[in-house]
Amino acid sequence: MVDFKTIEEKWQTRWSQEKVFEPQIDKSKPKFYITVAFPYLSGHLHVGHARTYTIPDVIARFKRMQGYNVLFPMAWHITGAPIVGIAERIKHRDPQTIYVYKEVYKVPEDILWSFEDPKNIVKYFMKAAKETFIKAGFGVDWSREFHTTSLFPPFSKFIEWQFLTLKEKGLVVKGAHRVRWDPIVGTALGDHDIMEGEDVPILEYVLIKFVLKDGERIYLPAATLRAETVYGVTNMWLNPEATYVKAKIKSGDKEEIWVISKEAAYKLSFQDKEIEIIEEFKGEKLIGRWVENPVTGDEIIILPAEFVDPDNATGVVMSVPAHAPFDHVAIEDLKKNTEILMKYDIDPRILEEMSYISLISLEGYGEFPAVEEVEKLGVKDQKDIEKLEQATKTIYKEEFHKGVFKIEPYKGMKVSEVKERIAKDMKEKGTADMMYEFADKKVISRFGNRAVVKILHDQWFIDYGNPEWKEKAREALEDMKIFPESRRNQFKAVIEWLDKKACARKIGLGTPLPWDKEWVIESLSDSTIYMAYYTISRTINRLREENLLNPEKLTPELFDYIFLMKFDEEKERELSEKTGISREVIREMKEEFEYWYPLDWRCSAKDLIPNHLTFFIFNHVAIFRKEHWPKGIAVNGFGTLEGQKMSKSKGNVLNFLDAIEENGADVVRLYIMGLAEHDSDFDWRRKEVGKLRKQIERFYDLISEFSSYENKEIEPMDIDKWMLHRLNVAIKEATAALEEFRTRTAVQWAFYNILNDLRWYLRRTEGRDDEAKRATLRKLAEVWVRLMAPFTPHIAEELWEKLGGEGFVSLTKWPEPVPEWWNETIELEESYIKGLIDDIKEIISVARLENARRAYIYTAEEWKWRVAELVAEKRDFKASMGEVMKDPEMRKRGKEVSKLIQKLIKDRAFDFKRIDEEKALKQAKDFIESEIGLEIIINPDEDKGGKKRQAMPMKPAVFIE
């Protein structure tokens, strides 16, 4: 058994000792700069992460072998609240957290308790992550390692510079923002902070202020998601049993009296409104009163409806029976229920005479779609909630997408457009307000309290909604490569809908906002341009080690020069004086940046497209010159474990490090790279990994064996030529795949296909042990090891050494197809032989010729070849026939010729290349015989079984007896 572990450690040590992956500026070489989203270290990396980080390493290794000067750096992300939260939970001995860290991440107990301090969590997992990456064989330039937040001051200064720059450009703004809020604890709630209902969306209700005449001006704000239907209101609904309040509502300098449900008053108090309750009463008090529609001026009556939920929005509902199923059904119910009408002293004629107002024309429906839909579904009454909701959904959807509005001044517009227009117009006139509400009531914080929607003020935003900025982002995307290309649309869409993004919060680790230190820059905002920091990071680290760096001296002016300006000695002198950093060192940083930037590739998993990766584009175009805009993004999918989603809380996680310990880094790398491609997901199956390990051992053994052979220049036999030709194909295809980050295809060519071809070759050459074969295998070994080097670098180094290769395989030249090795003809001959063997086997099985002794093979006669070639050229029956018949020899067998042409046309056998069938057969005779266990007779004079005439080019006739 191959000792992977020893081999891996041996080469990891050598790489590190010889600084193989710490590139220096080298202007004689093209540079290649690739980065991957740094990990957030709240735990160990698992096998899903392995994919994300192995891809750039493979690509980096590939490019390095192609002769590029490659920079592949790494750093650690510790910004944000989760790590602090974990420390908190450890402190409180939260069992779930302790389970995860003790059992899943296997943190030793004495260290575990030190996690009460978040700094210790960070320290522990940074160390572990680095160890993991080293053991995985990643060719990372560790001289540039750093981590985020104020715990690493130089980087913090860099982030300060970024934010000052953005602010100067007017891209950081202050404003209000709605958040989920725990009203008891008094904190904003992120997804992690929510126990139940984390996926409940927040809806924006329009509150249309109907006017209740009662001496004073009282508003009854009806909440709706369909503001356009205000034109079709026939009445109002209140729940007679619910508690409503009359309250003074102060909003800004406006003060009004509203009637809303008690719950609504509470909720609105979090949404920029001061509420002073004047009176509390049951809904029934207002039933039968009249209000004025603020848009149409209509006088309408307030009617009772039990479907009205006081705990949804304002608890005041306007009734649009033509287009809202609930409203229509409630009216029908009322008509039948004279008792209630009597109770509230409502004249039944009001209902009888009520006429529905049709607002929207909708194909497939008449004037009142809601009525039709209700009838269609057979809704009984307003208690028939399920069907009513179904009907509402259908009508809403249909009208929104296909409906055309019929009322002036919006006549002829699509409902989807009118909706927003009307709401906007009403808000401007002051006849409408708005309210945020959860789409579902059950949103519970992890503190066990029911959440509300709160409007936060003084929040800092990055204004991704800025139109000029968006335009620049589009422009950058246009010039970028995106792998897979199919993801480009998503980037485009994200750029379009991205708007103000809160960029700071009050808790968690991070860099304080330079102008407002109470706020800490959050994690998606301090991770957008750090690729530029890597270029100067080595220098900074060196200064730190030599104790020559005072981070405070890393001023915006310095960063401006390094990242934004042209080379300028005068400026360098000036900065040197100001910062105490020598001019040479400033120069060095500037040169590093100018040499490595722009970034060639940014890699990450696909979940970061809607945020990090797009922010990355935005921030680059905002800050850097166009020549420094990023050039490409490659996204990858996730991983599952034996078909199950990995979940640390369930303990269903395979740590990257454990996988390496179990299987060896090379096996893990090759397995993951060969398992899926681009953005598709992979599934880790233990059994398959085990199998692959065996195959890699086989690879190791084979190459080891071949390494003892000599690469003599000896005239190869045809099958040797075939092998070399196939090797050329593998080189070409693997290279093409890697250029596009298609790792799975690359592995298929670089590993499996060569393995299969080699298997065939060894079978074909069984019993042969001559110089030509040995030379062929030796050549194969030298190519194969290099093709495998990006995927299985340790074993490749080991084998490269055995082969006597110079230096590291990691630094040797990537193979290119050898022009003399190309040989299409031999490839065709080989597949011809293979096809023939398959044919014979099929004949034997179908005809059940168990006792066959001999197979007679007849190759196509010369004239058939000539016809085939002609047909391949003409690709048309008439043209071919006409041409062939010019030949008197052919005319003699006119009928046969015409049949042949017909068949060739039908089979579309148009890309014939001529091979010497008889020669190929003779050379492979022994092999064919041993494969099928019959004696082979090639082109005998006697036409056995009358089969001879069936022979076609590339498909010989066969008779078996």
Partner RNA sequence: GCGGGGGUUGCCGAGCCUGGUCAAAGGCGGUGGACUCAAGAUCCACUCCCGCAGGGGUUCGAGGGUUCAAAUCCCUCCCCCCGCACCA
- Single out the segment in contact with RNA by CB under 7 A; choices: 96-104, 319-327, 689-697, 774-782: 689-697
Write out the two tokens for 310: 């006081």
Smallest distance from the beta carbon of 222 to RNA, in angstroms? 21
189 binding RNA? (CB under 7 A): yes
What is d(CA 919, CA 927) in angstroms, rounded to the nearest whole number? 14
- Write the interaction track for RNA spanning residues 906-925; mark x where CB under 7 A is met and - where it is not: --x--x--------------
Residue with tokens 């934004």: 564
Residue 246's Cα: distance from chain center in Å?
51
DSSP letters, 373-419, are: HHHHHT--STT-HHHHHHHHHHHHHHHHHH-EE-STTSTT-BHHHHH
Half-sphere exposure of 876 (CA within 13 A, CB side): 5
Q: Which of 508, 639, 716, 815 binds RNA (CB under 7 A)?
A: 508
Amino acid at 386: E
335 binding RNA? (CB under 7 A): no
Q: How many residues bind RNA (CB under 7 A)?
A: 85
Cβ within 8 Å of residue 713, ≥6 positions away: 775
Q: Which of 433, 677, 720, 782 binds RNA (CB under 7 A)?
A: 677
847 binding RNA? (CB under 7 A): yes
809 binding RNA? (CB under 7 A): no
Residue 25 or 852 with smaller CB distance to RNA: 852
Using the CB atoms, write b or e for 71-95: b if 16+ within 10 Å: bbbbbbbbbbbbbbbbbebbeeeee
Smallest distance from the beta carbon of 803 to RNA, in angstroms? 22
Is the separation of the CB atoms in 43 and 100 below 8 Å?
yes
Other C-beta atoms lying within 10 Å of the C-beta of residue 766? 11
804 binding RNA? (CB under 7 A): no
Q: Which of 42, 239, 728, 776 binds RNA (CB under 7 A)?
A: 42
- Reference 137, options 53, 244, 222; nearest CA is 53
493 binding RNA? (CB under 7 A): yes
What is d(CA 511, CA 329) in angstroms, rounded to the nearest whole number? 58
Is the separation of the CB atoms in 154 and 146 below 8 Å?
yes
- Single out the segment in contact with RNA by CB under 7 A; choices: 27-35, 646-654, 663-671, 838-846: 838-846
- Single out the segment in contact with RNA by CB under 7 A; choices: 209-217, 580-588, 605-613, 788-796: 605-613
What is d(CA 247, CA 315) in angstroms, rounded to the nearest whole number? 14
What is d(CA 347, CA 860) in angstroms, rounded to the nearest whole number? 101
126 binding RNA? (CB under 7 A): no
Describe the crossing of helices 686-706 and 656-663 by its angle, rounded to 10 degrees: 50
Binding to RNA in span 310-329, by CB under 7 A: none
40 binding RNA? (CB under 7 A): yes
272 binding RNA? (CB under 7 A): no
Binding to RNA in span 635-674, by CB under 7 A: none
680 binding RNA? (CB under 7 A): yes
- Single out the segment in contact with RNA by CB under 7 A; choices: 166-174, 278-286, 532-540, 610-618: 610-618
- Single out the segment in contact with RNA by CB under 7 A; choices: 57-65, 258-266, 793-801, 831-839: 831-839
Q: Which of 251, 490, 923, 939 binds RNA (CB under 7 A)?
A: 490
80 binding RNA? (CB under 7 A): yes
794 binding RNA? (CB under 7 A): no
- Single out the segment in contact with RNA by CB under 7 A; choices: 312-320, 352-360, 496-504, 573-581: 496-504
- Single out the segment in contact with RNA by CB under 7 A; choices: 72-80, 223-231, 239-247, 578-586: 72-80
Q: Which of 65, 172, 188, 605 binds RNA (CB under 7 A)?
A: 188
Half-sphere exposure of 697 (CA within 13 A, CB side): 13
Is the separation of the CB atoms in 453 and 179 below 8 Å?
yes
**Length of the chain counted residue by residue:** 961
Residue 444 parent element (H or E): strand 444-445
**Phi and psi at residue 98, in whole multiples of 5°?**
-65, -40
- Reference 51, options 111, 136, 115, 109; nearest CA is 136
Binding to RNA in span 933-952, by CB under 7 A: 945, 947, 950
439 binding RNA? (CB under 7 A): no
Cβ within 8 Å of residue 442, ≥6 positions away: 196, 197, 200, 450
191 binding RNA? (CB under 7 A): yes
288 binding RNA? (CB under 7 A): no
111 binding RNA? (CB under 7 A): no
180 binding RNA? (CB under 7 A): yes
Residue 713 parent element (H or E): none
- Single out the segment in contact with RNA by CB under 7 A; choices: 123-131, 395-403, 417-425, 528-536: 395-403
Binding to RNA in span 127-156, by CB under 7 A: none
Residue 493 or 565 with smaller CB distance to RNA: 493
Is the separation of the CB atoms in 476 and 495 below 8 Å?
no
- Single out the segment in contact with RNA by CB under 7 A; choices: 64-72, 191-199, 567-575, 862-870: 191-199
Smallest distance from the beta carbon of 528 to RNA, in angstroms? 11
Write out the two tokens for 417: 């457009």
853 binding RNA? (CB under 7 A): no
Smallest distance from the beta carbon of 757 to RNA, in angstroms? 10
Smallest distance from the beta carbon of 440 to RNA, in angstroms? 13
Torsion of CA 335, 336, 342, 346, to 10 degrees: 0
Q: Which of 108, 201, 364, 804 binds RNA (CB under 7 A)?
A: 201
848 binding RNA? (CB under 7 A): yes
Q: Which of 109, 846, 851, 895 binds RNA (CB under 7 A)?
A: 846
Binding to RNA in span 695-724, by CB under 7 A: 695, 698
Residue 553 or 732 with smaller CB distance to RNA: 732
Angle at 51 between CA 48 and CA 54, to 5 degrees: 140
Smallest distance from the beta carbon of 634 to RNA, in angstroms? 15
442 binding RNA? (CB under 7 A): no
- Single out the segment in contact with RNA by CB under 7 A; choices: 322-330, 499-507, 551-559, 617-625: 499-507
185 binding RNA? (CB under 7 A): no
Write out the two tokens for 467: 């139109």
Could you tell me the CA-to-CA distances from 418 to 102, 323, 415, 422, 791 in Å, in that order? 57, 15, 5, 6, 57
